[in-house]
Amino acid sequence: MSAQLFWLHEEVLSEALIQTQAAEGCRFLFVFDTVWLAQRPVSLKRIQFIYETLIALPVAIEIVYGDAADVLKQKYLEHPGLVCQVIAPKDPELAERIEGIASEAGVAVLARPRWFVPPANKVARFFKFYNAVRGEALDAARVHRGDL
């Protein structure tokens, strides 16, 4: 079985998600991506918040500062056969950056997990959507812990 690496980014710092991936035998990596930080500057408070969130999670996470593409390529060179995965973010700019890195470094981009399946019919009004998914959404909310 090949080694598995799960690349975390700021939108997937969910304890429930990480525990699920840890149960599958994944190691975790978070990269403070210098290219992303230069492209979209964030405050020192935000960086501190992300760091404190990472160290509070119940698994060991390797935290690296550098160009994410270079870091992931280096990980692959160090561990041939490494399978690296990342969950697609909601932020379109971050998604574009991750897609670029993924294609360059051979990373599999996974779809975001959903709480429940959206209704089959397209609804124009929220109350119709809510009525269609209410039961399933409430059941999912009762058992869900972590990020949306």
Q: How many domains, in total, are found in the chain? A: 2
Q: Are residues 92 and 24 in the same domain?
A: yes
Using the predicted structure, report yes or no on whether residue 40 has a pLDDT greater than 70. yes
Question: Average pLDDT of 1-25?
Answer: 81
Q: Are residues 12 and 68 in the same domain?
A: yes
Q: Are residues 32 and 14 in the same domain?
A: yes
Q: Are residues 87 and 134 in the same domain?
A: no
Q: Are residues 88 and 135 in the same domain?
A: no
Using the predicted structure, report yes or no on whether residue 28 has a pLDDT greater than 90. yes
Structural domain of 83: 4-110
Question: Average pLDDT of 19-32?
Answer: 87
Q: Which has more pLDDT, 70 or 147?
A: 70
Question: Average pLDDT of 112-126?
Answer: 72
Q: Are residues 43 and 89 in the same domain?
A: yes
Q: Which of 23-27, 72-76, 86-90, 120-124 has the lowest mean pLDDT?
A: 120-124
CATH number for the domain spanning 54: value is 3.40.50.620
∠ CA 33-38-42 to the nearest 5 degrees? 85
pTM over 0.95: no
Q: Are residues 27 and 100 in the same domain?
A: yes
Q: Are residues 20 and 57 in the same domain?
A: yes
Using the predicted structure, report yes or no on whether residue 1 has a pLDDT greater than 70. no
Greatest pairwise CA separation for the chain in angstroms: 52
Helices 92-105 and 68-78: crossing angle in degrees, nearest 10, is: 30
